[in-house]
Amino acid sequence: MGADRAPGRSRGLSLRPLGPVVEFPSVPRRLARTLAAPGESPSTSSTRTSARHAESTHQTPRAALRATTGI
């Protein structure tokens, strides 16, 4: 089936250039910021407060749980 043809030629595709190519200068990359070191003790008062807050606000309310599961 035309093994002597170049790829793409069998479908009538032309390989001519599409037009001028515009080149942009490369932008220098910025280095990533270093992350802050974690506190010495993970049980600081601010950590405990935020953990309690996150747990309480993301739990399913008991009423909704009873309505869907019958508990």
Q: What does the pLDDT profile of the chain (71 residues) look like in tens digits?
A: 545 555 545 566 677 778 888 888 887 877 777 777 776 666 655 555 555 555 555 556 666 656 665 55
Q: Tell me whether residue 59 is in a domain.
A: yes
pLDDT for the residue 26:
82
pTM of the entire predicted model: 0.16
Show the domain range for 59. 45-71
Measured CA to CA in angstroms, residue 9 lies from 1, 4, 57 at distances of 12, 10, 63
Helix-strand-coil percent breakdown of the chain, rounded to 5?
35, 0, 65
pLDDT for the residue 71:
57
Q: Tell me whether residue 71 is in a domain.
A: yes
3-state DSSP assignment of residue 12: coil
> How would you classify residue 70: left for phi > 0, otherwise alpha for psi between -120 and 50, otherwise beta?
left
How many structural domains does the chain have? 1
